[in-house]
Amino acid sequence: MKKLYFLTGTQPLYGPETLQEVADQSLEMVQYLNSKTCDEVEIVHVKPVADPDSIYKAIRQAEDDEDCIGTITWMHTFSPAKMWIKGLKILRKPMLHLHTQFHESLPFDTIDMDYMNLNQSAHGDREFGFICTRLGVKRETVVGYYKSERVINKINKFMDVARGVAFSNNLSVAMFGNNMREVAVTGGDRLESQIQFGWRVNYYAIGDLTTIMEELTEEEIKNKISEYQEKYIVPEDTMPQVYEDARFEAAMDKFLEQEDVGAFTDTFQDLYGLKQLPGLAAQNLMDKGVGFGPEGDFKSAALGAVLYEIARLRDGGTGFMEDYTYDLNEGKEFVMGSHMLEVPPAFASDKPVVEVHPLGIGGKADPARLKFKPVEGDALQICLIDLGDRFRLIAAEVELINPHKETPKLPVASLYWKIKPDFETGVKAWLEAGAGHHSVLTTALDLDDIRSFAKFTNTELIEIY
Ligand code: MN
């Protein structure tokens, strides 16, 4: 179980009775929040901290606890903020500053100085906010009564991002082959990506995988085919090619577990020992949260896995996408997104069907892939690039549309979208920001989630909306 440490700030001046009330009320608050927030994360109530030493120790413990993904801080009373400096200087995990109050309404008839002493987050949280800003502490600030649905929703969103940041820090990415020759945007500083995002990006030979493929039993391959048949429509005449994807994916399942890998890249320029580029297999792996980047694009692979994890408990889909071609009718322009095979079935509005067609690239056998009709609605397109001296995220709000046209000669699934605020402005901004043709598309996350992820990973973010 993941944990968030709940730190209630106070000071010794108020005497033991008031401090006991601070402890009781913050515990009640934590219990309420636990009953309303994500089941995968437990908010752990820490005894209220009233001096520099207890603050430092509580933050030290949060940092040392492997299961702890961050902290929630709240100043029930005033808590002089110089006491927080030593502790905040070692804080690295994401923090949510919960600016709330134990009571919703002001008790006009009974309010006295005791009440004022106890309920002064309006006062104490300003002192705390100041020292965080002075120290450059990255945090999400959530403002309002703690029982309000809006506040609970924001705490849940923070929990998702905090889980995602913890996931990112432990993510291992396998590159089968290297980047597609001569391509610029899929490259980048792998070492720096580990320093900034925690991604261990390592090279593997495709032979590391084909060796596992050769050792598979027929039963293991059959089980994978059954998995496909449960999720997708698999016509009988596609079976020989589906068999090859099943071999690839059954071997990948073993490889991912063995090497503790959560995302991978492949490239059509390195398919030694494979009969074809994996299409169906890559699509099905993405559907289960394994990050995927084609043409050696490790940044899209890793970002896909991380954003999937942030979105995992929500409705909607998240996966790899590529800007491919346009409809440029003035004023009604839209993008058609697709890839040579690997379009995530998370964006299907009907049951995907396996089809087999030739692939004009890679010089291998005809591969299987899933085709389907696309979903419609709000989505976000996110791209990560390496500018040489820093990474940059670009996030664009888009609207997925369905032009309700058949594409009988197109052998792959495709999506259609309008970028905001309008085609000219949005695409111009995308190009001038340097965002590439590979991205992660999600119908489960919004700009606030990406802002939060960018903040906690110290990443520059360009927003297009
Ligand atoms: Mn591509």
**CATH code for position 140:** 3.40.50.10940
From the CA of 77, how far away is ligand 1's center (Å)? 55
In this structure, the answer to whether residues 207 and 312 fall within a common structural domain is yes
Instruction: State in Å: Cα 438 to ligand 1 middle.
Output: 6
Instruction: Output the domain CATH number for residue 401.
Output: 3.20.14
Does one domain contain both 408 and 259? yes
Bridge partners (DSSP) listed for residue 369 = 355
Q: Using CA atoms, how far apart are residues 340 and 410, in angstroms rounded to an integer? A: 10
Tell me the pLDDT of the chain (465 aa) as tens digits.
999 999 999 999 999 999 999 999 999 999 999 999 999 999 999 999 999 999 999 999 999 999 999 999 999 999 999 999 999 999 999 999 999 999 999 999 999 999 999 999 999 999 999 999 999 999 999 999 999 999 999 999 999 999 999 999 999 999 999 999 999 999 999 999 999 999 999 999 999 999 999 999 999 999 999 999 999 999 999 999 999 999 999 999 999 999 999 999 999 999 999 998 999 999 999 999 999 999 999 999 999 999 999 999 999 999 999 999 999 999 999 999 999 999 999 999 999 999 999 988 777 889 999 999 999 999 999 999 999 999 999 999 999 999 989 999 999 999 999 999 999 999 999 999 999 999 999 999 999 999 999 999 999 999 999
Whole-model pTM over 0.85: yes
pLDDT of amino acid 362: 74
Do residue 75 and residue 199 come from a single domain? no
Residue 361: what pLDDT? 78
Q: Where a domain ends, among 168, 198, 220? A: 168
Q: For residues 74 and 373, what is the distance between their CA atoms, to the nearest angstrom?
A: 47
- Six-digit token pair at 289? 């949260």
Residue 364: per-residue pLDDT:
86
In angstroms, what is the span from residue 343 Cα to ligand 1's centroid?
A: 11
Expressed in angstroms and rounded, the spacing between residue 272 Cα and the centre of ligand 1 is 20
Tally of domains in the chain: 2
Given 168, 190, 213, the domain boundary residue is: 168
Residue 51's pLDDT is: 97
CA of 464 to the centre of ligand 1 (A): 22
Q: Which amino acid is at 290?
A: V
Among the three residues 141, 168, 195, which one is the final residue of a domain in this structure? Answer: 168
Q: How far is the CA of 295 from the centre of ligand 1 (A)?
A: 6
Whole-number Å distance, alpha carbon 105 to ligand 1 midpoint, is 56
What is the length of the chain? 465
Task: Indicate if 137 and 34 belong to the same structural domain.
Answer: yes
The whole domain housing 402 covers 172-464
- H or E stretch covering 358: none
Interval between CA 54 and ligand 1 midpoint (Å): 52
The answer on 176 and 163 residing in a single domain is: no
One domain for residues 192 and 303: yes
Same domain for 367 and 237, yes or no, is yes
For residue 200, which of 287, 262, 254 has the smallest C-alpha distance? 262
Give residue 86's pLDDT. Answer: 98
Are the C-beta atoms of 456 and 159 separated by less than 8 Å?
Answer: no
- Looking at the fold, whether 376 and 343 belong to one and the same domain comes out as yes
Same-domain check for residues 140 and 197:
no
- Do 456 and 378 lie in one domain? The reply is yes
> For residues 371 and 410, what is the distance between their CA atoms, to the nearest angstrom?
9
> Which DSSP state fits 131?
H
Statement to judge: residues 400 and 443 lie in one domain: yes
Q: From the CA of 323, how far away is ligand 1's center (Å)?
A: 9
Give the Å distance between the CA of 55 and the centre of ligand 1: 49
3-state helix, strand, coil in the chain (%, to 5): 40, 25, 35
Answer yes or no: are the C-beta atoms of 352 and 370 closer than 8 Å. yes
CB 292 within 8 A of CB 286: yes
Task: Tell me the C-alpha distance between 182 and 176, whole Å.
Answer: 17
Task: Look at the block and give the residue holding tokens 């090619």.
Answer: 241
Looking at the structure, tell me whether residues 152 and 292 fall in a common domain. Answer: no
